[in-house]
Amino acid sequence: MSKRILITGAAGFLGSHLCDRFLKEGFYVTAMDNLITGSLKNIEHLLQNENFEFIPHDVSKFVEVPHRKTGHNGDVHYILHFASPASPIDYLKIPIQTLKVGSLGTHNLLGLAKAKGARMLIASTSEVYGDPLVHPQTEEYWGNVNPVGPRGVYDEAKRFQEAMTMAYHRYHGVETRIARIFNTYGPRMRLNDGRVLPAFIGQALRGEDLTVFGDGKQTRSFCFVDDLVEGIYKLLFSDYAEPVNLGNPDEITILEFAEEIIKLTGTKQKIIFKPLPQDDPKQRQPDISLAKKVLRWEPKISRQEGLKITYDFFRKLPHEELFKSEHRFG
């Protein structure tokens, strides 16, 4: 029997790519998602695969994983916890659910990992660093987070998730891994998820001016999804239990990025400026020295190559999906 992996948030952007990777590696994949922000379209190509099953479920409620043949409780060898709203549009609309999936959901899955003797990797985020006072951000930096600001529901959910995970590791001996994920992009992102890359590409495709918040001097570092999935795969099978930054350190300002998108899409739109959202990070750049050392991992795909693949994906979306987009990012 192949090893079984439970992937939560499996119908989301990152979760669906992880399903692809672990099926390719010969795992039996149990995918779980309540579809509050995910979409079955992301995994519909897998539904007929005999090594894949989908369970619609909210992990904030008790989680059980039936045996694939008998229906009784079955073995689970690995858990990837990727269930969570991940963009400002989502977590500002559903703040309570965001807090619950980071706290109750993590608690439920750690309990499952303990009961099954499974290794569990959690998807943490660069947002644990808040609006950082240290640049680039290393894993030793504790962050500059506003716990009561609008973004606090996501930032603090992820910080609590890390604390809960380390508690289960230290006190119950559960094998755990923590990935601190920086800005990631690629096919299957939602055009209306509110983050800068799909927002810019969506505006360009609709013939709208590109909206830059603030003066555009704030920075981001974009990692293509295939590179990130490779990093997650290596981290899961490493012996390292402390947090590890996964991202691309190739930093760019938002204004420069807007100009890149205009050049990529061949459009003639202007760039317009709007006020910066509250607590929006001014700088984002991962220090990946630890990932290089421990995992022998670093990104391979250039932003130019990754953006072309991503633009081709968005360009083929149905007309009605293109025009239901919202325009805000974080």
Alpha-carbon torsion 25, 28, 34, 40, what sign?
A: positive
| Listed residue (81, 80, 79, 101) closest to 90, CA to CA | 101
Q: Which position has the token pair 């290089």?
A: 292
Is 123 in contact with 9 (CB distance < 8 Å)? yes
| Listed residue (207, 208, 181, 203) closest to 192, CA to CA | 203
| Listed residue (22, 120, 117) closest to 78, CA to CA | 120
Q: What are phi and psi of 144, to 5 degrees?
A: -135, 80
Q: Supply the DSSP symbol for 310.
A: H
Supply 323's token pair. Answer: 């025009």
Taking the C-alpha atoms of residue 328 and residue 275, their distance in angstroms, rounded to an integer, is 11
- Concerning whether 154 is annotated as a catalytic residue, the answer is yes
* H/E run at residue 57: none
Taking the C-alpha atoms of residue 178 and residue 242, their distance in angstroms, rounded to an integer, is 6
Taking the C-alpha atoms of residue 60 and residue 267, their distance in angstroms, rounded to an integer, is 44
| Listed residue (327, 218, 326) closest to 276, CA to CA | 218
Which one of 91, 154, 168, 185 is the catalytic residue? Answer: 154
Alpha-carbon torsion 37, 39, 42, 43, what sign?
A: positive
Is 231 in contact with 114 (CB distance < 8 Å)? no
Q: Which position has the token pair 């603030």?
A: 214
Supply 217's token pair. Answer: 């001097």
Is 91 in contact with 82 (CB distance < 8 Å)? no
Catalytic residue numbers, as ranges: 154
